[in-house]
Amino acid sequence: MNKPIHSISPFTLLDYPDKTACILWFAGCNMRCVYCYNPGIVLGKGTQSYADALAFLSRRKALLDGVVLSGGECTLHKGLPDFCRQLKAEGWLVKVDTNGSNPGMMADLLTHGLIDYVALDYKAPAGKYFAVTQSSLYTKFEETLELLMRGDVKFEIRTTVHADLLHEEDLQAMVDDLGLRGFEGSLFIQHFINDTITLGKLEGTRKRIDPGRVKHHCIELIVRN
């Protein structure tokens, strides 16, 4: 039996804006971000099937509004559209957390109305993308971003910042890029979580970027932690 799901967080008030939700953590990823603090999920195997997840959700209908599909990278799993169809048929709101590396899958989900909200990771500007992600998937990210900007599904863009990897000038380059694409909204900043094991074995840091040093008239930087 296919078991794509590594684990389930049964309740969150933080991961789906204004909704109660659970998180399904999908195993595996096609990036190796050096700051990643989920190496067990990225490198590990799944332990639960889609049927297991649906059975869990059937017991949570009185408590939850939606389901967050995270990882790892959930869009790598070919069965995701059918699973989302089942979720929607049962009345769940569906949010996808993605690195944007599979625009074909995203187009399928968007075209068929299978998701309600997307959180897209903007990992780094083009010149630093490989250094941060250990992948050459920036153009795929761009394609996913363009799909979301042309679509009707609500989405957010977010960036994890470790002070040894990204600086204010990098965020400025990212904001400028979004502005040139016609994006108007917020770029959410999540600082690196200290005291945790990472894929790249990064040292902890207490440094924080100063969003006031990054300027754009139609894009706001919002720091979440």
Burial label, 164 (beta-carbon count in 10 A; 0-12, 13-18, 19+): middle
The tokens 């990210």 sit on which residue?
141
Mean pLDDT score of the chain, rounded to an integer? 94
pLDDT single digits (tens) 87-102: 999 999 999 999 999 9
CA–CA gap between residue 10 and residue 23 (Å, rounded): 7
Report the relative pairing of strands 93-98 and 219-223 from DSSP bridges: unpaired
Nearest-angstrom CA–CA distance, 148 and 107: 9
- Do strands 154-161 and 21-26 pair parallel, antiparallel, or not at all (unpaired)? unpaired
Contact 44, 22 (CB under 8 A): no
Residues 45-100: pLDDT tens digits? 999 999 999 999 999 999 999 999 999 999 999 999 999 999 999 999 999 999 99
Q: What is the pLDDT of residue 194?
A: 67
Question: Residue 1: pLDDT above 90?
Answer: no
Nearest one of 114, 122, 79 to 95, comparing CA atoms: 114
Q: What's the helix, strand, coil split of the chain in %, to 5?
A: 30, 25, 45
Q: What is the pLDDT of residues 129-165, one digit of tens each?
A: 999 999 999 999 999 999 999 999 999 999 999 888 9
Distances 11 to 17, 23, 211 between C-alpha atoms, Å: 13, 7, 31
Distance of alpha carbon 152 from alpha carbon 27, whole angstroms: 28
Q: Kindly tell me if the per-residue pLDDT of 205 is higher than 70.
A: yes
* pTM (whole model) above 0.85: yes
Q: Is the pLDDT of residue 124 over 70?
A: yes
H or E segment and range at residue 54: helix 50-58
Cα distance between residue 33 and residue 134, in whole Å: 6
